[in-house]
Amino acid sequence: MLNLMVEYSENQLDAVFQALADATRRGMLAHLGEGAHTVSSLAEPYDMSLAAASKHIKKLEAAGLVEREVVGRVHHCRLSPNALKYASDWLRDYERFWNARLDVLEGLLKAEDDTDRNKGG
């Protein structure tokens, strides 16, 4: 039934959605939308230790949402939108699929309603 749809790796979807399920990490992604940031600059807005922020970034990296380039002692992070597209495509696929089903359902309900009206009228 889902054979029409692209196949997605469960593990990758797990990792991406899990990474997105945290406001700190979503905030970091938003900042990375402006351009590359170092680990400390990404951590700065948050009321947590650098180590904690570093863990968040590692999780974004593991999900494929962020890439890192080490220059000297500074780690530059930038967005890597492929994984994001992955999740987005999955959602879009499901939305299309479900909306189609719901349209059918809506049509059936409307038809039923019309029948009722004719009976009652």
Partner DNA sequence: TAATTATTAAACCAAATGGTTGACAATTAA
Partner DNA sequence: TTAATTGTCAACCATTTGGTTTAATAATTA
Applying CB under 8 A, which of residues 101, 106, 109, 115 lies at the interface with its own copies?
A: 101
Instruction: Select from its own copies, DNA, none the partner in contact with residue 54, using the beta carbon and a kind-dependent cut-off of 5 to 8 Å.
Output: DNA
Q: Which residues, in sequence order, are CB contacts of 114 under 8 Å at separation 6+?
A: none
Of 26-34, 50-58, 81-89, 109-117, the window that binds DNA (rule: CB under 7 A) is: 50-58
Q: Which residues pair with 74 in a beta bridge?
A: 71
Structure tokens at 32: 């990375």
Instruction: Select from its own copies, DNA, none the partner in contact with residue 85, using the beta carbon and a kind-dependent cut-off of 5 to 8 Å.
Output: its own copies
Cα gap 93→114, rounded to integer Å: 32
Q: Which residues, in sequence order, are CB contacts of 91 under 8 Å at separation 6+?
A: none
Q: Does 73 bind DNA (CB under 7 A)?
A: yes
Chain contacts with DNA (rule: CB under 7 A)? 18, 21-22, 24, 38-41, 47-52, 54-59, 68, 71-75
